[in-house]
């Protein structure tokens, strides 16, 4: 399996290294099919669990199924043809037709077996944040093993086109890789093996990388990714929001809220997306008095100018003491690993200066 990113192989290797201490040889070689465990399964597992956790917020995909029922209760519409044939003289029962929402069986089976596969490889801890969903999938599981045809039916099911369930597309792509588990290893004899490719959301890998970078360098802080923040839980429009990274001081309880953005930035106004700016400020508002720093963290394409990227107060209106930052690790597709590590150290140093008073 080859994973590439526009920021170059050095940065990609560094992110993979942080995720699972994996070093990737970038020598150009031919390949053959291998049925052994996928060497990137741990990374895919992270991406699968994280994307599933987000997708399932609005529930598993459901579809309507038509049912007929003969009973004393009227549910749905009465089947008059059946009534004329079977209920004259009237015997106290009517045949009614109604629609009922049910979970899409192919999707349930694919998700359940993907979770079971990960559990068999990494243990139950891998799905510790999805225990409720895991139990639901177990209850709804058909008991049948899935094959390639089942996976394709799940991926192409019409419910996935519903905006409510659209995020399951990515989840099912990861599940397919986990279940089929085809890897590539060197083949110096045959050089004509056709291969297929997948598009990975490297942005999620970047979130994991940043989380581990901060966690390793700030032991006095709890560093958590994708923390669920429930809002308006008593109202019909209840939701949960998920900041990418939350740092909470182990003693004072002070909060740093960060959003990881895997986008090119050259320190120009147009580089910071309006929606991203609104999003991080909504997270900042949630924590209120406990918040000390908030910001957006990018792979930087230019050396940072603190006067232009740091604000001494949230919203820049000087009526609060919450720092707002746009920062990150400087990366270049031609840089060496030593250069990248030095860029990380400079970023960590800037973060240390921000957190030194807490």
Q: How far apart are CA 257 and CA 68, in angstroms?
A: 53
Quote the pLDDT of residue 28: 40
pTM of this structure: 0.57
Whole-number Cα distances in Å, 203 to 131, 181, 206, 314? 25, 22, 5, 26
Which bin fits 172, alpha (ψ -120 to 50), beta or left (φ > 0)? Answer: alpha
Quote the pLDDT of residue 141: 92
- What tens digit of pLDDT does each residue of 30-49 get? 444 444 444 567 778 877 88
Q: Residues of the chain with pLDDT > 90: what percent?
A: 21
Q: Residues of the chain with pLDDT > 70: what percent?
A: 80
CATH code for the part of the protein at 202-355 = 3.40.1350.10
* Vertex 95 angle, CA 89 and 96, to 5°: 140
Q: How far apart are CA 218 and CA 265, in angstroms?
A: 26
DSSP string, 68-130: EEEESS--SEE-HHHHHHH-SS--S-EEEEEEEEEE-HHHHHHHHHHHHHHHHHH-GGGGGGG
Confidence of residue 255 (pLDDT cuts 50, 70, 90): very high
Confidence of residue 184 (pLDDT cuts 50, 70, 90): very low
- What tens digit of pLDDT does each residue of 66-97 get? 777 777 676 667 666 766 666 666 666 777 77
- What tens digit of pLDDT does each residue of 126-182 get? 777 787 888 899 999 998 888 889 999 999 999 988 888 888 998 998 899 888 875
Question: In the chain, what are the domain boundaries?
Answer: 36-60+105-181, 62-103, 202-355
* Vertex 169 angle, CA 194 and 37, to 5°: 50
Evaluate whether 324 touches 258 at the Cβ level (below 8 Å). Answer: no
Question: Which residue intervals of the chain are DSSP H helices?
Answer: 9-20, 41-55, 80-86, 105-122, 131-140, 148-155, 168-180, 202-217, 274-287, 306-309, 337-355
Q: How far apart are CA 302 and CA 6, in angstroms?
A: 15
């Amino acid at each position: 399996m080859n994973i590439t990113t526009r920021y170059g192989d050095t940065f990609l290797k560094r992110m993979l290294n942080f995720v699972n201490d994996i070093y990737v040889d970038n020598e150009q070689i031919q390949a053959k099919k291998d049925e052994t465990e996928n060497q990137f399964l741990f990374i895919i597992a992270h991406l699968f669990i994280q994307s599933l956790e987000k997708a399932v917020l609005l529930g598993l995909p459901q579809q309507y199924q038509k049912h007929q029922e003969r009973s004393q209760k009227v549910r749905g519409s009465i089947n008059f043809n059946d009534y004329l044939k079977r209920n004259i003289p009237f015997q106290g029962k009517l045949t009614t037709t109604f629609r009922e929402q049910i979970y899409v069986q192919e999707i349930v089976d694919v998700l359940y077996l993907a979770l079971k596969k990960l559990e068999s490889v990494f243990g139950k801890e891998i799905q510790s944040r999805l225990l409720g969903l895991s139990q639901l999938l177990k209850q709804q599981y058909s008991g049948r093993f899935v094959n390639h045809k089942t996976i394709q039916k799940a991926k192409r099911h019409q419910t996935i086109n519903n905006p409510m369930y659209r995020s399951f597309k990515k989840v099912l792509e990861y599940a397919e890789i986990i279940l089929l588990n085809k890897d590539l290893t060197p083949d110096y004899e045959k050089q004509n093996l056709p291969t297929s490719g997948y598009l990975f959301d490297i942005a999620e890998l970047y979130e994991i990388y940043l989380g581990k970078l901060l966690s390793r360098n700030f032991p006095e802080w709890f560093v958590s990714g994708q923390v669920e923040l429930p809002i308006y839980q008593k109202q019909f429009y209840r939701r949960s929001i998920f900041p990418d990274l939350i740092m909470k001081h182990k003693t004072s309880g002070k909060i740093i809220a960060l959003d990881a953005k895997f986008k090119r930035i050259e320190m120009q106004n147009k580089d910071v997306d309006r929606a991203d700016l609104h999003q991080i400020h909504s997270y900042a508002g949630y924590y209120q008095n406990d918040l000390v720093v908030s910001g957006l963290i990018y792979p930087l394409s230019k050396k940072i100018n603190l006067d232009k990227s740091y604000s001494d107060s949230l919203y820049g209106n000087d009526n609060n003491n919450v720092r707002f930052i746009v920062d990150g690790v400087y990366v270049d597709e031609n840089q060496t690993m030593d250069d990248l590590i030095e860029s990380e150290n400079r970023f960590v140093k800037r973060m240390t200066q921000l957190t030194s008073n807490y």
